[in-house]
Amino acid sequence: MLRSSLRVEVVQATPAPRDIAANLETTAAMVEASAADVIVFPELFLTGYQTAALEELAMPTTDARLGSLAARCAERETALLVGFIERAAEGYYDAYLAIDADGTILPAVRKTHLFGAEGDVFLAGDSLDPITLCGTPIGVINCFELEFPEVARTLALKGAALLLAGSANMHPYSEDHRIASTARALENRLPVAYANRVGSESGHTFCGFSRIVDRDGSLLGELGEDEQGSLVADLAVNATVPTEVAMLAQRRPELYSG
């Protein structure tokens, strides 16, 4: 049975570049301290925003280090989304590690729309499907994907009750994701929780503004441009949408193309 609400926490922090052990420790400590049902970290948080020498950083989801993190999630009964570089037989993916509240590690959620130099080193994911965390269908959105309405809409049409987005968004694009997170919530009448990073790395300065937006587009909380910390909100995931703004029910796909 679908839960009526989920307590979601988004983390805004600076990962240690190329120091997986330190970033795993930070992630585990945040899980330990969290009272949320689901905690969301920024894109590529376990490695930092790296596009070189990926063979030193990439991990399969079966890596023992991730198993230890899963055990911590099970102890706390907290689900986790954290960005990492996935090692697969065919290459590397910019992906999200998804761990359910019972410690189950799900298949990695692979980024489908790559930004800039990412396309030179990462393979693009080829599916958009909700995952299930805490018994709730959730759409996971990775950074640049937030700027494509089709990504969120596809996840919504496939049954997502909540959109969780993680990012390594940098200047000069800070306003893009503030606008896009609100738009995706309104377009689909789904809450959007967005975790971005801060700090500088690999020639980029990351712009923060992690935020949680309710299904009506109202801002429930936002962190600052350089602020380290987290936001927590209880989000309705089984709410009835008023008929006049039920966008999914009023779609006319026979008119749409391209």
Provide the mean pLDDT of the chain: 97
Q: Rounded distance, CA 107 to CA 96, Å?
A: 9
> What is the band of 23 on the pLDDT scale with cuts at 50, 70, 90?
very high
* Range(s) of the domain holding residue 72: 5-255
Helices within the chain (DSSP H only):
20-33, 64-76, 118-121, 149-157, 174-188
Angstrom distance (rounded) from CA 30 to CA 39:
8
Predicted pLDDT of residue 126: 98
Catalytic residue check, 43 = yes
The residue type of 56 is E
The β-bridge relationship of strands 109-110 and 91-99 is antiparallel
Is pTM, for the whole model, over 0.85? yes
Q: Using alpha carbons, select from 208, 49, 176 the residue that is nearest to residue 118.
A: 49
The predicted-structure confidence for 58-105, as pLDDT tens digits, reads as follows 999 999 999 999 999 999 999 999 999 999 999 999 999 999 999 999
Domain of 84, CATH number, reads 3.60.110.10
User: Of how many residues is the chain composed?
Assistant: 258
Tally of domains in the chain: 1
Band the pLDDT of 240: cuts 50, 70, 90.
confident
Q: Which of 43, 86, 118, 147 is catalytic?
A: 43
**Catalytic residue (choose from 9, 111, 118, 147):** 111
Among this protein's residues, is 143 annotated catalytic? yes
| 12-22 pLDDT, tens digit each | 999 999 999 99
Closest to 84 (Cα-Cα) out of 52, 53, 44, 136: 44
**Residue of 143, 145, 207, 222 marked active site:** 143
